[in-house]
């Protein structure tokens, strides 16, 4: 693995976001996270927005950078200003606006766009606004409509987060397509954390039958892969790091779906980041002239081949297993490099 790949992986793991569910005991789950860590708190039709806002308030009081999910279909228009005020009072600067999974709205908004507009009418109280994105599509909405929605939402939103996806090539193809369509929002790749199958099934029961059915129906392949056994995201992260190195994806970082296995997912992220940084430093030392010796081979004279090299899992000829990240996700390379210029998420433009 080249130093450039290691740097790309380390950069993507620099400041990951960790998503938790507002279930009983969720607050204790974040004990493993140091102050300043970004934690997103989901909303659920069975739990309601009050549970999300209350947990966000408590976590913000512990020094965490909290990003509550505000579900449009659960939001009564008369309570939007109240919820915003409560979140602002504890220092929340970032909210994630979703349409919501409820079949019929229980609030006054039909979709995420309407809620974004309502927040704008309040004077844009939050400098950072995130919206969801769907590399594998949505079971209720066609792809063209999803892309059009992102184009509209970027008038107010400052970044987007992909839904859970296991396939790096799918993420790369989707990101290239929406970039070509004019979507410029900085993107975080949604990846699973370290997940135990029994834990996932337990959470599914606690979320309620309706939520579980919606999750399985909307994320069938992802759900099956999780339920078949435990999961670690090393291969996916390495593949995305390789693509980032070669300019096939432009990502801000990772959004980790923990399914409330926060300690395990955080430990994995820290260790993966430290490993990538250590490997990069080691490779740089080995490649330095002082370590190679005084007699170095001069580059060949004449015309230099400037054609881009074909993508490979490792640039130095070693296998992925030898690098500590496991085998590559599989064959397949996007057909052409994608846009590499990105706007850092961090405020309204």
pLDDT tens for 246-290 read: 999 999 999 999 989 999 999 999 999 999 988 878 877 776 655
Q: Which range is least confidently modeled, 66-80, 180-194, 272-286?
A: 272-286
Q: What percent of the chain has pLDDT over 90?
A: 56
- How confident is residue 138, by pLDDT bands cut at 50, 70 and 90? confident
Please state, in angstroms and rounded to a whole number, the distance separating the CA atoms of residues 220 and 217: 5
Domain count, the chain: 1
Dump strand ranges (E) for 44-144. Answer: 65-71, 94-98, 128-133
pLDDT of residue 255: 97
Paired tokens of 48? 């309601």
Residue 294 domain-assigned (yes or no): no
Alpha-carbon distance values, 109 to 38, 72, 222, 236, 310 (Å): 27, 5, 29, 36, 48
Residue 246 domain-assigned (yes or no): yes
Residue 313 domain-assigned (yes or no): no
Residue 345 domain-assigned (yes or no): no
Q: What is the mean pLDDT of the segment spanning 51-58?
A: 97
Residue 31 domain-assigned (yes or no): yes
Q: Give, to the nearest 10 degrees, the angle between helix 234-245 and helix 262-287.
A: 40
Q: What percent of the chain has pLDDT over 70?
A: 71
Q: What is the mean pLDDT of the segment spanning 101-112?
A: 79
Residue 222 domain-assigned (yes or no): yes
Kindly report, residue by residue over 320-338, the tens digit of the pLDDT.
Answer: 333 344 333 333 333 333 4
Residue 52 domain-assigned (yes or no): yes
User: 50 lies in which domain range?
Assistant: 3-281
- How confident is residue 57, by pLDDT bands cut at 50, 70 and 90? very high
User: What burial class does residue 133 get, using C-beta atoms within 10 Å of its C-beta: 0-12 exposed, 13-18 middle, 19+ buried?
Assistant: buried
Helix (H, G, I), strand (E, B) or coil at 318: coil
- How confident is residue 45, by pLDDT bands cut at 50, 70 and 90? confident
Residue 142 domain-assigned (yes or no): yes
Residue entry with tokens 């309407």: 114
- pLDDT, mean over the chain: 80
Paired tokens of 61? 């009081």
- How confident is residue 94, by pLDDT bands cut at 50, 70 and 90? very high
User: What burial class does residue 4 get, using C-beta atoms within 10 Å of its C-beta: 0-12 exposed, 13-18 middle, 19+ buried?
Assistant: middle
Kindly report, residue by residue over 300-318, the tens digit of the pLDDT.
Answer: 434 334 333 343 333 333 3
For the cut 80, the answer to whether the pLDDT of residue 340 exceeds it is: no
Cα torsion through 45, 49, 52, 54, rounded to 10: -140
Paired tokens of 209? 């039958």
Alpha-carbon distance values, 141 to 31, 145, 151, 182 (Å): 38, 7, 15, 19
Instruction: Name the more confident of 205 and 192.
Output: 192
Assign residue 10 the CATH number of its domain: 3.20.20.220
Instruction: Name the more confident of 203 and 108.
Output: 108
pLDDT of residue 313: 38
pLDDT of residue 205: 53
């Amino acid at each position: 693995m080249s130093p450039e790949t290691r740097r790309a992986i380390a950069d993507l793991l620099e400041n990951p976001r960790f998503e938790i569910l507002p279930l009983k005991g969720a607050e204790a789950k974040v004990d493993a996270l140091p102050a300043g860590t970004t934690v997103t708190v989901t909303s659920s039709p069975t739990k309601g927005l009050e549970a999300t806002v209350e947990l966000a308030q408590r976590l913000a009081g512990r020094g965490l950078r909290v990003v509550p999910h505000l579900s449009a279909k659960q939001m009564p228009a008369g309570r939007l200003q109240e919820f915003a005020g409560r979140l602002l009072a504890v220092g929340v600067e970032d909210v994630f606006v979703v349409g919501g999974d409820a079949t019929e709205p229980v609030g006054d908004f039909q979709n995420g766009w309407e809620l974004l507009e309502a927040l704008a009418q309040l004077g844009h109280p939050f400098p950072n606004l995130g919206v969801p994105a769907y590399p594998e599509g949505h079971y209720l909405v066609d792809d063209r409509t999803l892309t059009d929605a992102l184009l509209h939402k970027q008038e107010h939103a400052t970044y987007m987060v992909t839904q859970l996806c296991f396939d790096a090539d799918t993420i790369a193809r989707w990101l290239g397509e929406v970039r070509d369509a004019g979507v410029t929002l900085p993107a975080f790749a949604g990846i699973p954390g370290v997940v135990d199958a029994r834990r996932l099934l337990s959470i599914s029961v606690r979320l309620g039958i309706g939520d579980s059915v919606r999750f399985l129906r909307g994320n069938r392949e992802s759900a099956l892969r999780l339920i078949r056994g435990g999961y670690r995201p090393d291969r996916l992260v390495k593949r995305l790091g390789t693509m980032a190195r070669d300019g096939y994806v432009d990502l801000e970082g990772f959004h980790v779906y923990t399914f409330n296995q926060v300690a395990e997912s955080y430990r994995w992220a820290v260790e993966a980041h430290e490993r990538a940084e250590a490997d990069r430093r080691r490779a740089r030392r080995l490649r330095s002239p002082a370590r190679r010796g005084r007699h170095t081979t001069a580059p060949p004279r004449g015309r230099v081949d400037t054609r881009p090299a074909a993508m490979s899992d490792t640039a130095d000829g070693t296998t992925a297993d030898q690098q500590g990240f496991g085998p590559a996700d599989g064959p397949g390379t996007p057909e052409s490099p994608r846009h590499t210029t990105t706007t850092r998420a961090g405020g309204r433009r």
